[in-house]
Amino acid sequence: MAQEVGELLGIVFVLFLILLVISTHPSLSSYVSKWRQMKSIPGLSPTYPLLGNALQFKSNGRDFFCQLIEYTNVFRNEPLMKLWVGPVPFLILFHAETIETVLNNPKHMDKAYAYKFLHPWLGTGLLTSTGDKWRRRRKMLTPTFHFSILTEFLEVMNEQAEVLIEKLEKQAGRGAFNCFSYVTLCALDIICETAMGKKIYAQSNSDSEYVLSVYRMTDIIIRRQRMPWFWPDIIYYLLGEGREHNRRLKVLHSFTEKVIKERAEHVSDAESDSESDQGTKKRRAFLDMLLKATDEDGNKLTPKDIQEEVDTFMFRGHDTTAASMNWAIHLIGSHPEVQRKVQQELLEVFGQSNRPINTEDLKRLRYLECVIKESLRLFPAVPFFARSICEECHIKGFKVPKGANAVIIPYAVHRDPRYFPDPEEFRPERFLPENSEGRHAYAFIPFSAGLRNCIGQRFAIMEEKVVLASILRNFSVEATQKREELHPVGELILRPEKGIWIKLENRVH
């Protein structure tokens, strides 16, 4: 009996390998060619044919991230290293100089293979599209992120920050609590209203099906990316989380489809009847601009195009800023001298008033911006991202074949002692203009860099300033975790394993 079971498992394993190769690499000769060409690049051992290094990877998100960072430490003196995830080759880049050769080359602008698992949710919008479609879309959308338009969103940011303060007020003086979800729900409210013009009241209704589906869908995608045996659809839907994936997808798409339809009708009505708002100025949202946007040929976006971008804004526009703000809160709460400097700056800008933050205030919050950047250096919201090598090239003397994937790891790049001495130390002064002069442009890349940098980075910095300033105008923060207790989990977003625990005390004005 045991022998029969063993034979059956052997057959299943062989069939799995065949399906894996067929689904990820139609040409076996292409795989063999890449294997030979990349043989000289430093990498892990052993590496098995077809499976690569997949069996060596930790399944737990936190352990896998620690493992990846440990690889960058082991290979720190090498210009790059390679990993094979199943039959797919990945170059791991963690030096500013090698990263520049990829990110600044217009030939290597396509996202890597693993991004295909985002397509069912995000389609091929700005985050996941390639080639001419990406270039046209980027050119079309860039004006919607102009600073003058972003300032219109300040009112929303102030309002939602005020709701957050009301929620945090109930925790002040009551001991340690986990602030992570409070800040995340605030960021979700901000992006929903600024991207779609839709209030979802996430801070008051965190159990909404849409809110839960956003979080759950992210987790589902992460797991699939890390497990090559679930890459073939037939296996994923038979043995993996394919059914839940589709159920969550339906919730997400139904919500955004409904909002887009309602907003399109509103825009149409407003154009046909200028008095429809009875003289009141309606707040603009990114969605309104998408509905009116045209390319150089005068073509408008289709409903599917618009949904791709709205879903992309929702996915990338709240999780990243929420994580960044939480890391900053921990670091500020762990360094009383930094907190005093921030609060002194806030006192100089706002005095004892509790007025909303305006655009002039944002410009004057220079030290707070340094704090935000130093937080992003230590804990970049996106711990790694990947590009496809679209033509054969050489990186630091190593031949890299077309079709390989380059993984850039900001978490490791930002700890290069050549550019950031004592890299684990939290020193916001590193980002004062006089201390940043001469630093390699690719040594600090929390929003990626080069031709495909993050289109929403000014929006993110603005939001972080508003929310963090609001918190620190009202409370003194004390972190109750040590750095080594945070256990960063590096997935699509860098998160602390057990949240950010702090104590709050009301400030006396």
- Sorted by where each starts, the structural domains of the chain and their CATH numbers stand as 60-506 (1.10.630.10)
pTM beyond cutoff 0.85: yes
Which range is least confidently modeled, 38-42, 50-54, 64-68, 86-90?
Answer: 50-54
Please report the pLDDT score of residue 6 as a whole number.
Answer: 52
- pLDDT tens digits, one per residue of 364-413: 999 999 999 999 999 999 998 888 888 888 888 898 888 888 999 999 99
Q: What is the average per-residue pLDDT within 224-245? A: 88
Q: Which of 186, 174, 182, 185 is nearest to 480 (CA)?
A: 174
Question: What are the tokens at 25?
Answer: 């690499």
Percent of the chain at pLDDT > 70 equals 91
Q: What is the average per-residue pLDDT within 127-132? A: 85
Name the average pLDDT for the chain. 87
Please report the pLDDT score of residue 509 as a whole number.
Answer: 59
Cβ(284)–Cβ(143) under 8 Å? no
For residue 335, pLDDT over 60 is answered with yes
Task: Give, for 496, the enclosing helix (H) or strand (E).
Answer: strand 494-496
User: pLDDT confidence of 471, banded at 50, 70, 90?
Assistant: very high
Q: Which residue has the higher pLDDT, 204 or 30?
A: 204
**Is 186 annotated as ligand-binding?**
no
SS3 for 447? coil
Please report the pLDDT score of residue 336 as a whole number.
Answer: 98
For residue 354, pLDDT over 60 is answered with yes
Please report the pLDDT score of residue 446 as a whole number.
Answer: 96
For residue 3, pLDDT over 70 is answered with no
Surface-to-core class of residue 261, CB atoms within 10 Å of its CB (0-12 exposed, 13-18 middle, 19+ buried): exposed
User: pLDDT confidence of 348, banded at 50, 70, 90?
Assistant: very high
User: pLDDT confidence of 47, banded at 50, 70, 90?
Assistant: confident
The amino acid occupying position 232 is: P
For residue 151, pLDDT over 90 is answered with no
Q: How far is 250 from 481, CA to CA, in rounded Å?
A: 39
Q: What is the average per-residue pLDDT within 226-250? A: 90
Q: CB neighbours of 239 closer than 8 A, spacing ≥ 6?
A: 230
Q: How far is 168 from 91, CA to CA, in rounded Å?
A: 44
Q: What is the average per-residue pLDDT within 308-316? A: 88
Q: Which residue has the higher pLDDT, 444 or 128?
A: 444
Percent of the chain at pLDDT > 90 equals 50
Q: Which residue has the higher pLDDT, 12 or 424?
A: 424
